[in-house]
Structure 1
Amino acid sequence: MKISPYQNGRFKSFLEQKSTEFRDLIYQCQIGSRYFDSGEEILRQGEQLQHLCVVPVGRVSMSIIAANGRRFQLGEANCDYHIYGEMEYFTQTPCQWNVVADEHMQVDIICIQKLTEALNSRPEMMFFFASALAEDYQDSMDIYTNRLLHPITYNIAYDLLVQKQANTLLGGFGKVNQEAERFGTSGRVYRRAVKDLMDKELIRKGEQGLEIVDESALKAFLDAYE
């Protein structure tokens, strides 16, 4: 979640009015900062949460590893005062995801005990967590549902369309293997699906990665699955 409120939701006006107060509350609980290099884990799956982390700026990726060793990449986020560890803070469970720095960055460390005391004295600030977690939950469920219920060619095409039409919080990767993990598959299967979409002249490889050739045709391709 971000410290600043999202642009929609039932409590949008209230959150905008209290945004500065919420930011102050979070940073009143700061106990320091730490620098991470590219590839270093900010949070590690399975470890107990020691503190919340705020990333003012920088790219991070999130992944989860199953018991069989397969990894699912949720995607890469360009941070703008993003908070990590908030779900585990409320559930008091070990970290569910690996959160990895994708470039050198500063991470601000937030004390769990101080935050708990601050929220107990200012319970209205819980609206920020509740609203952000609800929106993040819906976004995540949309990703999981599409990955589970549709073939990979559909998911690649749909992802490209969403990335083009909306200002999404999670982006893709430049490396094939990481992109394959984002779609819950292997590099070989991912390449074959991309080739299928290219053979249909729906997408192409550009300088910045995969690009849509014909948006109308791509939408028709997606609609055929409905």
Structure 2
Amino acid sequence: MQQQPYPLGRFQAELQALEPRFASALEACRLHLRRYLPGESIMRQGEQCEHLYLVKRGRVSLNSAVHSGRLFQLGEIECHHQIFGEMEFFGAAPVQWNVVAETELDASVICAHKLAQRLLAEPELVLFFAAALACDYLDTLDITTSRLLHPIAYNIAYELWRERQRTPMLGSRKRAHEAARFGTTERVYRRALKELIEQGIVGEGIDGPVIADLAKLRTYLSL
């Protein structure tokens, strides 16, 4: 979730007014600032976590693995005051996703116990988490539903459309990671991408696929 209020939502005005207090509360619960190098794990799947992490700038990736070694790559985020660990904070559950630094970055390590006490004293600040979690849930549900109901090529195109609108989740420069993010093999991913390129919908950019023709993209997606 983002520290700043999301641009849409029922409580936008209230959240904007409360934002200085929320930032102050997070700072008061900060234990220290830790630097992470590229490839270093910030959070590890399956571990218990008593901290939240606030990354103001930097790029991170999220992935989930199973015992067979198969990896599902959720994607990468270009952080702008991004908070990680909020789901584990409220659910008191083990970490669901590996969170890995893709660039050198600094993360504020926030004490979960101190933050819990602060929220009990100022319950109105819980509104930040409620609004952000609802927004992220709807966003994730939209992605999941699309990937279940549509072929790989459609989902590649749909994600490019979503990124153009507002979604902070980004693709990876590593083709194998992109394939894992769509739950398929690199070979199938390449074939789907080639199909979109041949139709003139998508092009190859420096950092991965880009929209080649917006009108064709909208027609393809029936938007």
Q: Normalised by the shorter chain, which TM-score bucket?
A: over 0.9
Counterpart code for 2:79 = C
Calculate the TM-score normalised by the size of structure 2.
0.95
Give the distance between the partners of 1:217 and 1:80, measured in 2 at CA: 31
Is 1:84 paired with 2:81? no
Give secondary structure in 2 for the equivalent of 1:217.
Answer: helix
Is 1:171 paired with 2:170? yes
Per the TM alignment, residue 195 of structure 1 is displaced from its structure 2 partner at its CA by 1.2
Q: Which runs of 5+ in 2 are unaligned?
A: none
1:117 is aligned to 117
Runs (4+) of structure 1 moved beyond 3 Å? none
Give secondary structure in 2 for the equivalent of 1:78.
Answer: strand
1:11 is aligned to 11
Cα distance per residue 1:23-70 (max 9 Å; x no partner) = 101110111111110000100000001211111111111111134332
1:214 is aligned to 213
Mark the CA change 1:25 to 1:157 in structure 2 (over 3 Å): closer, same or farther: same
1:193 is aligned to 192
Stretch moving more, 196-205 or 141-150: 196-205
Give the distance between the partners of 1:71 and 1:97, measured in 2 at CA: 11
Counterpart code for 1:197 = L
Q: Which runs of 5+ in 1 are unaligned?
A: none
Give the distance between the partners of 1:128 and 1:178, measured in 2 at CA: 32
The correspondence of residues 1-226 of structure 1 with structure 2, limited to 5 A, is: 1-164=1-164, 166-223=165-222
Per the TM alignment, residue 10 of structure 1 is displaced from its structure 2 partner at its CA by 1.0
Mark the CA change 1:112 to 1:207 in structure 2 (over 3 Å): closer, same or farther: closer
Per the TM alignment, residue 208 of structure 1 is displaced from its structure 2 partner at its CA by 4.0
Give secondary structure in 2 for the equivalent of 1:18.
Answer: helix
Per the TM alignment, residue 128 of structure 1 is displaced from its structure 2 partner at its CA by 0.6
Per the TM alignment, residue 222 of structure 1 is displaced from its structure 2 partner at its CA by 2.0
Cα distance per residue 1:73-128 (max 9 Å; x no partner) = 22111112211101011111000000000111111111111111111111111101
Report the RMSD for the aligned CA atoms in angstroms: 1.5
Stretch moving more, 155-164 or 176-185: 155-164
Counterpart code for 2:50 = Q
Counterpart code for 1:36 = Y
Mark the CA change 1:42 to 1:207 in structure 2 (over 3 Å): closer, same or farther: closer
Alpha carbons 2:59, 2:78 under 8 Å: kept: yes
Give secondary structure in 2 for the equivalent of 1:96.
Answer: coil
Mark the CA change 1:207 to 1:94 in structure 2 (over 3 Å): closer, same or farther: closer
Cα distance per residue 1:119-146 (max 9 Å; x no partner) = 1111111101100110011111111111
Calculate the TM-score normalised by the size of structure 1.
0.94
Give the distance between the partners of 2:207 and 2:44, measured in 1 at CA: 30
Give the distance between the partners of 1:51 and 1:8, measured in 2 at CA: 28
Residues paired across the two proteins, number: 223
Counterpart code for 1:14 = E
Counterpart code for 1:159 = E
Give the distance between the partners of 2:22 and 2:156, measured in 1 at CA: 37
Q: What percent of counterpart residues are identical?
A: 45
Give secondary structure in 2 for the equivalent of 1:79.
Answer: strand
Give the distance between the partners of 1:206 and 1:58, measured in 2 at CA: 21
Alpha carbons 2:171, 2:208 under 8 Å: kept: no
